[in-house]
Amino acid sequence: TRKLLAECVQRQIALVIGTTGLTPEDDQAITDAATAIPVIQAPNFSLVVNVMTMLAAKAADLLGDRYDIEILEAHHRFKKDAPSGTALNIAREICSATGKSYEDDVIFTRHGDEVTRKPGEITMQTLRLGDAVGEHTVYYATLGERMELRHVGTSRDSYAIGAVRAAQWLANKQPGRYAMGDVLGLDV
């Protein structure tokens, strides 16, 4: 991504980025490049995942802190990072929609003798299972009821289809930094 970013700026070529796990310096380099070329970056190009992320944020905002929020993600046993970039993005969008702090309100582990849930926290859980392509579930629960938003990837084709759609949308755009919400017309 680093090498490709510099090459695209030099040659004035639009760029689609799906790389996760980038550093703050990489993020700044992408922002800088977007002043010269159109760039779209997404942690996940699945159209359904992007719609689900928008719905997850909206649901959290509508339900409020009386509902516990848990994010569960599962991927194949060979995936190196955890949690997934998609799960992290879902948590960030929920925080943005509800005025929560990603740094203070997202919990990445729950173990021990006293793990009572605090109001307003969002918990992230990670599974690594066989050949799972990618699964993300957001749970909203309170006493007496639970709602689940879920995406199950059964083929990597859906990610490629979304990336191609993003590239087609990006063609002939003005320089700027774009997201899948722009491609899909989502209010994210």
CB atoms inside a 10 Å sphere around CB 158: 19
Q: Are 97 and 57 in contact (CB under 8 A)?
A: yes
Phi, psi of 122 (to 5 degrees): -120, 125
Known active-site residue 173: no
pTM of the predicted model as reported, rounded to 2 decimal places: 0.89
Residue 187 has pLDDT above 80, yes or no: no
Which of 76, 79, 100, 118 is an active site residue?
Answer: 79
Which of 3, 58, 75, 151 is an active site residue?
Answer: 75
Residue 188 has pLDDT above 70, yes or no: no
pLDDT tens by residue, 2-21: 899 999 999 999 999 998 88
Known active-site residue 76: no
